């Protein structure tokens, strides 16, 4: 039986954090997460949504006190430094938030018996593969952001706490700065845009990931040691393919032209191929994962 009752969500003003708030609200409306115990045996779940103003994950004392004071038994770490290009020029901040703070978080979770659900990235891979990366595939980041996220993963594995690392890819949602929102804006402003067509991956709707995470919260008792999983939407495309689908669904009169990575230089190197193999997470938690284009249609359509 799952005993999780007090769940801390860090970084809850980010796009995944906001989607987690949405999914909790939707589940409450459907009474799938009861607000009040309806009988003596029913346990209610309390969600503590925090972001940097309420709880800075780099502040080890604040973190430890928060977990202790609120009897937190599960932490969903959606907080991160996610500015991939900026990380190249301010690596210290990226390593503080994505590496050092995760180390502290893992340690606190270990000390206080809290289950940790940590989110990581496809950018821990170098992109030289030609078939989807399995969770145990060799990591080799090619950017500071990827390096910093790998450091966080290693900390959790080192602490040997019960918890999971979910690597995901190309997250988008209606919230904040992300590829879909940028394309929707450009699609209204321009007749032609040029998008990289030689990087392969899977766009992932943050709402789908949030649903999967809350599903996993109900099944944490199946995990006894830190375990890596991959979650993305099903299917493969390129950024150009993603952009074309956005324009098509949104019915925007903007032509998307393919270009190469070399024609669109960025401070951080991106993996040319970062498709994740999803079989482990689907099997372990009995998840059905939507195709990326179907989820995109649900979001925009």
- Rounded to whole angstroms, how far apart are CA atoms 228 and 167? 7
Asked if 197 and 240 touch (Cβ cutoff 8 Å), the reply is: yes
DSSP per residue over 27-50, as a string? HHHTTSS-SS-SSTTPPP-EEEE-
Q: Which stretch binds ligand NAP (CB under 6 A): 49-57, 66-74, 130-138, 266-274?
A: 49-57
Task: With CA atoms as reference, report the closest residue to 4 among 30, 38, 43.
Answer: 43
- Asked if 145 is an active-site residue, the reply is yes
Note whether 170 binds ligand NAP by CB under 6 A.
yes
Which one of residues 23, 105, 171, 247 is an interface residue with ligand NAP (CB under 6 A)? 171
Note whether 148 binds ligand NAP by CB under 6 A.
no
Note whether 16 binds ligand NAP by CB under 6 A.
yes
DSSP per residue over 252-270, as a string? ---EEEEE-GGGS--SS--
Note whether 252 binds ligand NAP by CB under 6 A.
no
Query: In whole angstroms, how close is the CB of 162 to ligand NAP at the nearest point?
Result: 19
Query: In whole angstroms, how close is the CB of 43 to ligand NAP at the nearest point?
Result: 27
Note whether 82 binds ligand NAP by CB under 6 A.
yes
Between residues 45 and 143, which has the closer beta carbon with respect to ligand NAP? 143
Q: Which contiguous run of DSSP H or E holds residue 194? A: strand 192-196
Q: Which stretch binds ligand NAP (CB under 6 A): 11-19, 67-75, 108-116, 278-286?
A: 11-19
Which one of residues 13, 140, 280, 282 is an interface residue with ligand NAP (CB under 6 A)? 13
Task: With CA atoms as reference, report the closest residue to 9 among 46, 34, 44.
Answer: 46
Asked if 239 and 197 touch (Cβ cutoff 8 Å), the reply is: yes
Note whether 213 binds ligand NAP by CB under 6 A.
no
- Rounded to whole angstroms, how far apart are CA atoms 103 and 148? 11
Note whether 157 binds ligand NAP by CB under 6 A.
no
Q: Which stretch binds ligand NAP (CB under 6 A): 48-56, 61-69, 104-112, 279-287?
A: 48-56
Q: Which stretch binds ligand NAP (CB under 6 A): 7-15, 20-28, 222-230, 262-270?
A: 7-15
For residue 142, give the DSSP letter.
Answer: -
Number of residues that bind ligand NAP (CB under 6 A): 27
Note whether 242 binds ligand NAP by CB under 6 A.
no
Which one of residues 8, 67, 76, 79 is an interface residue with ligand NAP (CB under 6 A)? 79
Note whether 139 binds ligand NAP by CB under 6 A.
no
Q: Cα–Cα–Cα angle for 215, 169, 94, nearest 5°?
A: 105
Give burial (CB, 10 Å; 0-12/13-18/19+) of 205: buried
Choice among 47, 123, 145, 273 that is catalytic: 145
Asked if 200 and 168 touch (Cβ cutoff 8 Å), the reply is: no
Angle in degrees, 0-180, between the axes of helices 239-250 and 179-189, rounded to the nearest 10:
60
Catalytic residues: 145
Contacts to ligand NAP by CB under 6 A = 10-11, 13-17, 51-52, 56-58, 78-82, 97, 119, 121-122, 149, 168-171, 176
């Amino acid at each position: 039986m799952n005993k999780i009752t007090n769940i801390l969500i860090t970084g809850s003003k980010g796009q995944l954090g906001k989607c987690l708030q949405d999914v909790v609200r939707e589940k409450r409306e459907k009474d799938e997460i009861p607000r009040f115990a309806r009988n003596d045996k029913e346990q209610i779940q309390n969600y503590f949504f925090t972001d940097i103003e309420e709880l800075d994950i780099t502040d080890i004392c604040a973190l430890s006190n928060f977990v202790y004071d609120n009897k937190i038994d599960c932490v969903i770490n959606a907080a991160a430094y996610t500015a991939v290009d900026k990380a190249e020029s301010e690596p210290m901040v990226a390593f503080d938030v994505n590496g050092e703070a995760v180390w502290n978080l893992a340690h606190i979770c270990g000390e206080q018996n809290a289950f940790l659900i940590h989110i990581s990235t496809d950018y821990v891979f170098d992109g030289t593969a030609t078939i989807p990366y399995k969770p145990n595939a060799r990591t080799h980041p090619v950017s500071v952001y990827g390096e910093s996220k790998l450091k966080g993963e290693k900390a959790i594995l080192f602490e040997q706490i019960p918890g999971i690392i979910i690597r995901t890819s190309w997250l988008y949602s209606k919230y904040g700065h992300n590829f879909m929102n940028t394309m929707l804006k450009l699609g209204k402003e321009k007749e032609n845009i040029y998008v990289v067509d030689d990087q392969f991956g899977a766009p992932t709707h943050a709402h789908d990931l949030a649903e999967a995470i809350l599903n996993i919260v109900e099944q944490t008792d199946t995990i006894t040691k830190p375990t890596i999983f991959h979650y993305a939407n099903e299917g493969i495309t390129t950024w150009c393919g993603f952009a074309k689908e956005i324009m098509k669904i949104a019915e925007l009169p903007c032509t998307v032209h393919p270009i190469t990575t070399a024609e669109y230089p960025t401070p951080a190197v991106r993996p040319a191929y970062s498709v994740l193999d999803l079989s482990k997470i689907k099997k372990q938690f009995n998840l059905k994962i939507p195709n990326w284009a179907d989820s995109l249609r649900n979001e925009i359509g």
